[in-house]
Structures are given as C-alpha cells and as structure tokens.
Chain A
Amino acid sequence: MRTVAYYKGCLASLSAKELDISTQALAPKVGLELVELERVTCCGAGDIHEAEPDYYLHLNARILAYAEETGSDTLMTVCNVCTLNLRQANFQLKGDAALLERVNANLVSVGAPAYSGGVDVQHFLWLVSAGEGYELLRQAAHKGLKGLKIAPFYGCQILRPSKLLGFEDPDKPSSLERIIEACGGEAIDYPAKIKCCGFPIIQAREDVALGELIQPIEQASEAGADAIVTPCPLCHLSLDAWQSKLREQTGRDFRMPILHLSQLIGVAAGLDDSELKFKRHVVSVAPVVEHLRI
C-alpha cells in the first residue's frame, strides 16, 4: 500500500460526490491508502489565480503544507484544475527560496504549518496509468468492460502547460487509452480529446463555451463511442450537465454517457452501485450498465 495525501477539491466534495465516493472505494484495489486532507480550502481554480494571484499562491501553499504534515511525499488530486494550480504553486515555492520564506512567514502567522517543499502533486490518473499502480489496476479490473467503446477525454489542465504537468506528450497522450484497454474496453480516437470543454467560461460566456463543448461530444459520438471518460470533474460537469443545452441549441440529442475515470475503472473492478453512484449523472449511464450485464 502506498500512502498518499488526498485533496478532493470543491466539486468532488459537493456536486460531483460520486467522484469522491468511487475514488475512495477504488483506492485500496489499486494499492493506494488515502489520507484525506480536512483543513484545506478550494485551490482557487483559474479564478483566484486571475483575481488575486498572491492570495492564490498562499491558499495553495497552505494546502501543500497540510499535505506535507501527513508525512506523505505525494499529494493526490482528482481534478485537472487542482492539479495545475497546486503543481504551479509548488514549483514557484520550491524554485524560489525568498518567495517560500515570505509565504511561510505568512502561513505561520495565521496558524498554519510552514511548507518545506517536500510534496509532489500527482493526479490519480498518473498514479494508476504507470508503474506499480498500473499493474494493480490490471489485476483489479478483472470484471472487464467487455469491449465497450470508450472515448478518452483528457481536458486541458492535465496536459498543458506541459512544462508544469509533464507526465506525457500533451499532443499524443496515451494514459487514458492504456487504462481503457487494461479494463477490457476499446479506446476510440478523435481529434478533440485534448481540447477544451469550455467549462471555465460556461457561466460567463455560455455560447462560446458550448461551441467548444460540442466538439468532443459530436466527434466521440460519430466515432461510435458508447461513453466518454474524463479525469476531471469540471469537464465531467460540462460534458454531462450541459448536454441538454446542446440539445436546445442544435436540436441534436447525443445522450452520451460521461464517466469519471474512477467510475470507469470501478465498473471494471466490480464496484457496486452504491460506490459508483451513476444516478448522480444527468445523462443516463443505463446503456453502459446494461451492456456490461449481458
């Protein structure tokens, strides 16, 4: 068992609880012991980074400091945006002693622990798509996806900027494909799998966002995908919940089921309904579940 500090972020705490529940249920099967961080806040998404960047750095430093306090050298995330925010702050703090000193003085003066730079931020996808985690996943996913056609959707902030993320080639990623195949599914290829789902501007610029959102759903649908899988709860929310808006706007009803990565592996690893929580999805996942029952 590898012990990692677990930062679930806002969405997995609230509207995407199914992500947290399935991740927690799956973790032991892929060799992960999760130590959930309790005294942490939102990472600020791109929003606090843009509105109050100095405060963004401090919020993320505080999360890193509490992660370090658990004694683990790894902070695991389940969201692309959290991953970029925390990795960016981490590199800024580790690479600049004067900056770290100032931030630490501020952290200590409000009663938080200081951060010494001892944590590496890793997305759940990275921990289970390579090395020992991947071997365990292959064993755990014994139930299999029975040839289900799955379209991987990476989202942006797990690939770009690659300087800060750097796990795989941002133009030709393969980690999701490896996992889909290990789970007995067939990975569908389509150009928009590395593009944006539009989520960051879906409230402020809905039309612009929907123009982005339709691309992966349309392309995956035309390529014959039974479902899309994504490692990001924000991508999940726009792909799943905003499909009805695409229907209103274009008259096309895609009914494309959208799975969280932990649910895709979870289905293949035999997690039960109470751990997968498919009822929490707006677009029905029933066709996928039925395919697997046969």
Chain B
Amino acid sequence: MQVALKIWRFDAVAGERKLVDYEIDAPEWVTLLDVLDLIKDQVDGTLAYRKSCRMMICGSCGMRMDGAAVLACKIRMYDIAQSGHIPVISAMGNMPIVKDLVTDMQPFWGKIRAMSPWLQPGYQDPGEKEFVVSEEQMDTIHKESLCIMCGCCVSECNSMESDPEFLGPAALAKGMRFVGDVRDHATVERLQEYSGQHGIWDCTRCYFCQERCPKGVDPRDAIAKLGAEAMKEGIDSDMGAKHAKWFVTSSKTTGWLRETELVPKTQGVARSLKEVKFAMGLLKHGKVPPPIPPHVAKDVDEARALFDLVSQQGRGGAAGIVQGEHALERLEFEQGGNPDRDPFGEGSFPEPFLPGQGEGEEEAES
C-alpha cells in the first residue's frame, strides 16, 4: 500500500524548520516506526529519530502524530493510509529539539533523578525469614510501575508549557511508585519534597498525560494519589493543599463550596488583601457570593456523617483511588469489545511459559 506522511524536519545548526512530504510503498502491516525506517532507508538517510525495541517497551520512539504524542511503534498505519489522511509527524513538545524528531531528554531525566527513584528501605535485616509484600500492597503502585519513560505525557503537559520547572507527570508518577511502595521508608521526606513549588500542586488536571500515556500509567491519578498521601501525612502547607482542604470543609459544613472564603483559606488573609481591587471588580457582577447567610444544602448532615464514617474505614490516602482502579480497567476492557470476559477473573491470564513446552509445535512450523 502507499503511505504518505508529512514530517517536520529541523536542522539545529542552521536553525531551519520545514515540513516535508514523503510517500512510500509499504506492506500492510507497517507501524509508523516501520514507515520512518523505510523512508530513512530508501528516501533520505539524514532523517533523525530515536528507536530501539520496536515493541512498546523501550520508550525510545515517542513523537507527535497530528499534534498528539504517540509511540511510533504502537501506531498501525493501515487504517490511516486507507482513509487517505496524511498525518503530520513532529518532535515531542515541552523539550528542546536536537534534530528532526529527536528531542533533548536531559530536562526529563533531571526531573526523574530529582525524585530519588530508588528504594530507601531503612528496615532491619529480617533475619531467617523474608518480608512478604501482599498483592494488595503491590496493587497500589501497579500502574505507576508500568512507566517506560517515553516522555509522551511530558510532551503534552499543559502546566509544564507554562512552568518549565514543573516536575511533571512522568517524574511524579515515578515518585508515587516509591511513595506507595511498602518497602520504602522515606515516604514523609519524599512527600515533603514533592509538595514544593514546582511539585504536586502545580498540576492543572488537564488529563492530557492520562490520555496520551501509551502504557496505562495514568499519571494524573498518580499525582492525585501523591496529594492524598501528603494530606494524610499532614503535609498540607502548600496553597494547593489548602485549596483542596477547603473543599472538604465546605462539603461537610454547608454542602456546597463556600467560594468567597476559598481565596483567604487558600492564600491566607494577608495575601488575599492584595486581591481586594480584583474582587471588587467581580463583586459588581455577582461573582463574589456573600458568605453570610451561607448557602446550605438540604440534609447536609448526611455528608458530614459520611465523612466521619469513612474516616474510620481505613481507605484514607491513595487507597481511596486505588480501590476504584479495577472497575475502571474493566471499563476499558469492555470498550475493547469483550464484555463477557472478566479481566481479573479466573483463567483470564495466559498460562506461564515453562521450559520444554511448545517446542515440538515450533519445530513443526519451521
């Protein structure tokens, strides 16, 4: 089949950027990465891009297709070519471009390193026995452990566009991978560090990272888990944490958000006084609802009682998010078109391979 692409070429030496058309004959099974290989082999050997494993595990070939970050080896070209659409390929966002589709990953690795991405056990030698980590405990960091550090989430991060120093989705998901690990004993120190100026509370919840991640890490949820763990440990002095806390207070006192008090509760009284002029402008248009008398939801005592009840049930912190993950995974599975199969039920995992099995069949095939 004929496959057409437009590629944003970039020559860093000359500082030139141009959109170049390519068309090539390719087998029907090709991925975007295969097409780039064919172009490099047959049309222009100077085309630059990163690749290694070709099977969605090394995380090298992150790039943008039609403005959205993808792993080139994960994109099948058949449907795209058949539809007549000519996709535009470019380098990932939020990183400097070295050449063509190759970005400088140094800022990315710097942020990963800033998370201290190694276990800090700090426990005593268990002696004769070994420590056992339960399946439930590992579930907490199952998704975060899937990260292949391709950078697709970082490429699309709206907060990072605005604050390049934001730790960002990949690094924070890595942070959760250690905060949620029961073997790690630096939890509080980590949460304090991640709660700084360019940390957890910089996330604007645009969910681009979650949408783009090719491995199902769900970095935005990982950031929410970090926030929940920080609050549980009482690390709540950041304005973002205070903002979140006021929602909780509002919901159990009046039911609805007490909007007007949100500003001083988040920023402190002194800082909010600077906002008086701005607030007066809003007041004229009814955008500053008077806090007194409060707008109270009917039967709000039910919400308060729920808060007290669930506080005693041991699902605080990240556990409150993790508990819903199986159902959401199942949802994805159902959307994939197999509603009858339970992805976590009996018989749903492939049989493990044992040496000696299946050898005869392979021989028969060859």
Contact = CB atoms under 8 A, between A and B. Distances in A.
A162 interface: yes
A57 B68 CA distance: 31
Interface stretch (A11-19, A68-76, A137-145, A222-230): A11-19
A205 B163 contact: yes
B204 A42 contact: no
B251 A59 contact: yes
B331 interface: yes
Given A95-B328, A110-B302, A280-B287, A51 B245 contact: yes
Given A41-B300, A62-B306, A170-B211, A51 B281 contact: no
A212 B162 contact: yes
Interface of A: 10-11, 13-15, 17, 38-42, 44-59, 62, 88-89, 91-96, 99, 102, 106-107, 109-112, 156-157, 160-164, 166, 170-171, 191, 195-196, 198-201, 203-205, 207-212, 237, 241, 244-245, 279-282
B238 interface: yes
Interface of B: 66-68, 158-159, 161-163, 166, 201-208, 210-211, 218, 220, 223-224, 227-228, 231, 238-248, 250-251, 255-257, 259, 262-263, 266-267, 278, 281-282, 285-289, 295, 297-300, 302-303, 305-307, 309-311, 313, 315-321, 323-324, 326-328, 330-332, 335
B89 to A, nearest CB: 15
A21 to B, nearest CB: 11
Contact of A54 (B159, B238, B256, B315): B315
Contact of B320 (A15, A52, A164, A280): A52
Given A14-B259, A55-B306, A203-B262, 19 more contacts: A11-B259, A13-B256, A13-B295, A42-B247, A42-B257, A49-B224, A55-B251, A59-B251, A95-B328, A156-B206, A161-B210, A162-B211, A164-B331, A200-B203, A205-B240, A211-B161, A212-B204, A237-B287, A244-B278
Contact of A160 (B210, B297, B305): B210
B191 to A, nearest CB: 13
B252 to A, nearest CB: 8
- Interface of B: prevailing SS: helix
A95 B255 CA distance: 27
Given A15-B287, A211-B162, A50 B68 contact: no
Contacts of A171: 66-68
Contacts of A53: 224, 228, 315, 317-321
Contacts of A212: 158-159, 161-162, 204
Nearest to B255: A41
A158 to B, nearest CB: 10
| Residue with the highest number of chain B CB atoms closer than 10 Å, among A50, A162, A191 | A50
29 contacts: A13-B256, A15-B287, A15-B288, A15-B289, A42-B257, A47-B243, A47-B244, A48-B251, A49-B321, A50-B223, A51-B228, A51-B244, A52-B320, A57-B320, A57-B324, A58-B306, A58-B310, A62-B302, A62-B306, A95-B328, A96-B330, A110-B302, A163-B328, A171-B68, A201-B159, A201-B202, A203-B262, A207-B163, A209-B204
Q: What are the 5 tightest A-B residue pairs by CB atom distance, in nearest-first order?
A: A53-B320, A211-B162, A95-B327, A54-B320, A92-B324
B207 A204 contact: no
A100 B328 CA distance: 14
| Residue with the highest number of chain A CB atoms closer than 10 Å, among B68, B241, B250, B327 | B327
A196 B297 CA distance: 30
B158 A195 contact: yes
Contacts of B305: 109-111
Contacts of B335: 163, 166
A100 to B, nearest CB: 9
A201 B257 contact: no
A95 B330 contact: yes
Contact of B207 (A160, A244, A281): A160
Contacts of A62: 302-303, 306
